[in-house]
């Protein structure tokens, strides 16, 4: 095998690693694939630059073309990674399946393959290609299997949690009605009122956790209609008990959008409650609405102590929680609702700021 042929086989190896890492990251959102991509990309770049310098004049134009094509692919793959990091995996997958990306990939992979065929003698056997392809294919299958196992696990948990949540609703209703009857039957003094308030808070907490489970496991199609953000915020606040020690700052402006109002109310309800629970003692929760081209930006900020840096990346994962009494499904449900609206949600901390980006206009199906 000639040096040129071997060099191209090594370039092929790293190119396949890059392509598969970007695709695996788009489909699984597993950070290990982003890490592999970012570690591999400089090596691939250096190999192509070295080939331009070290190959003879006859091959220089070929490697220059391959380098230019690789740069275009890398730019698109970086965009794929950014989409996933912005909680927009669908956009990432769409880009990888786009004609533009596929065309550039054909130019690079096809060019490298033709070069190897041209350089090799019939007696030569590939040194890198076959083992590399087997390894990459194995990695791809493992990534898909890992995703399937994770989904199957959550489906099983979802069915169990749904049954338990439904079973809890009836006893909660009975307890709540019995409490109201007790208030009417007996004269309520300050001591009794404190006990009743304590029971009510406990009922509210369990009810909210039941609702979190049901919101997560239900599969409901979007019912899109035109509405105002202030109406969504108002309805979210109607279901919440804002403590006296929390100052709530609401937006003064308003924006119209097309969305499923009920589902966005659930999402905002979860986020505002999450902000309230993050504050110890006195504090502030602030909501803002801004417009950006064809999108709406909603921010919910709180004055709590913030989310630990090592927990930020996991905050939207199902069953992950930093609270002793949390289900770990509230923020996962929020993310699911926002993504169903072709939007994205992200968080920075400290201070903790949840940022939602939603498209203003969506297609309303005829009823």
Is 264 a residue whose pLDDT tops 80? yes
Q: CB atoms < 10 A from the CB of 87, how many? A: 20
Mean pLDDT for all residues in the chain: 79
Is 248 a residue whose pLDDT tops 80? yes
Is 292 a residue whose pLDDT tops 80? yes
Lowest mean pLDDT among 80-94, 179-193, 201-215: 201-215
User: What does DSSP say about strands 246-249 and 283-292: parallel, antiparallel, or unpaired?
Assistant: parallel
DSSP 282-300: SEEEEEEEEEETTEEEEEE
Contacts of 154 (CB under 8 A, 6+ apart): 318
- The pLDDT of 273-289, averaged and rounded, is 89
Largest interatomic CA distance in the chain:
100
What is the per-residue pLDDT across 174-189, written as a single tens digit (0 to 9) for each?
A: 887 887 888 777 777 8
Confidence of residue 95 (pLDDT cuts 50, 70, 90): very high
pLDDT the model gives residue 102? 92
Lowest mean pLDDT among 36-45, 72-81, 218-227, 269-278: 218-227
Is pLDDT larger for residue 213 or for residue 50? 50
Sign of CA dihedral 209, 164, 316, 255: negative
Confidence of residue 122 (pLDDT cuts 50, 70, 90): very low
What is the per-residue pLDDT across 43-69, written as a single tens digit (0 to 9) for each?
A: 889 888 888 887 777 778 888 998 999
Is 325 a residue whose pLDDT tops 60? no
pLDDT the model gives residue 215? 61
pLDDT the model gives residue 123? 40
Is 130 a residue whose pLDDT tops 60? no
pLDDT the model gives residue 75? 94
Q: CB atoms < 10 A from the CB of 67, how many? A: 18
Lowest mean pLDDT among 69-83, 115-129, 238-252, 320-334: 115-129
pLDDT the model gives residue 330? 73
Q: What pTM does this model have?
A: 0.49
The tokens of 176 are what? 């709540």
Confidence of residue 300 (pLDDT cuts 50, 70, 90): very high
What is the per-residue pLDDT across 65-84, written as a single tens digit (0 to 9) for each?
A: 989 999 999 999 999 999 98
- The pLDDT of 225-232, averaged and rounded, is 90
Is 100 a residue whose pLDDT tops 70? yes
> How far is residue 41's CA from residue 14's CA, in Å, rounded to a whole number?
8
Question: What three-state secondary structure class fits 256?
Answer: strand
Is pLDDT larger for residue 95 or for residue 139? 95
């Amino acid at each position: 095998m000639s040096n040129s042929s071997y060099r191209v086989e090594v370039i092929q190896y790293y190119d396949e690693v890059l392509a598969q890492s970007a695709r695996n990251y788009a489909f699984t959102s597993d950070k290990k694939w982003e890490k592999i991509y970012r570690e591999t990309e400089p090596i691939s770049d250096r190999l192509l630059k070295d080939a331009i310098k070290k190959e003879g004049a006859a091959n220089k134009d070929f490697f220059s073309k391959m380098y230019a094509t690789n740069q275009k692919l890398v730019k698109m793959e970086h965009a794929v990674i950014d989409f996933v990091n912005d909680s927009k995996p669908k956009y990432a997958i769409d880009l990888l399946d786009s004609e533009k990306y596929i065309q550039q990939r054909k130019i690079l992979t096809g060019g490298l393959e033709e070069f190897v065929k041209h350089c090799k003698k019939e007696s030569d056997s590939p040194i890198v290609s076959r083992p590399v392809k087997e390894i990459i294919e194995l990695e791809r299958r493992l990534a898909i299997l890992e995703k399937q196992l994770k989904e199957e696990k959550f489906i099983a948990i979802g069915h169990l949690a749904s049954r338990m949540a439904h079973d809890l609703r009836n006893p909660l209703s009975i307890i709540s009605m019995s409490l109201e009857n007790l208030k009417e039957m007996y004269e309520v003094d300050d001591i009794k009122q404190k006990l009743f308030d304590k029971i009510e808070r406990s009922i509210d907490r369990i009810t909210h956790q039941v609702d979190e489970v049901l919101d997560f496991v239900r599969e409901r199609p979007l019912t899109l209609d035109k509405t105002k953000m202030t109406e969504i915020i108002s309805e979210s606040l109607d279901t919440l008990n804002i403590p006296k020690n929390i100052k709530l700052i609401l937006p003064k402006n308003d924006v119209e959008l097309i969305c499923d109002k009920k589902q966005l109310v659930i999402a905002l309800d979860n986020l505002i409650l999450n902000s309230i629970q993050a504050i110890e003692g006195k504090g502030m929760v602030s909501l803002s609405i801004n417009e950006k081209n064809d999108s709406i930006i909603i921010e919910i900020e709180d004055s709590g102590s913030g989310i630990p840096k090592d927990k930020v990346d996991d905050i939207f994962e199902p069953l992950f929680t930093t609270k002793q009494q949390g289900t770990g499904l509230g923020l996962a449900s929020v993310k699911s609702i926002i993504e169903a609206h072709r939007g994205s949600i992200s968080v920075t901390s400290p201070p903790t700021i949840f940022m939602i980006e939603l498209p203003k206009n969506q297609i309303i199906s005829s009823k």
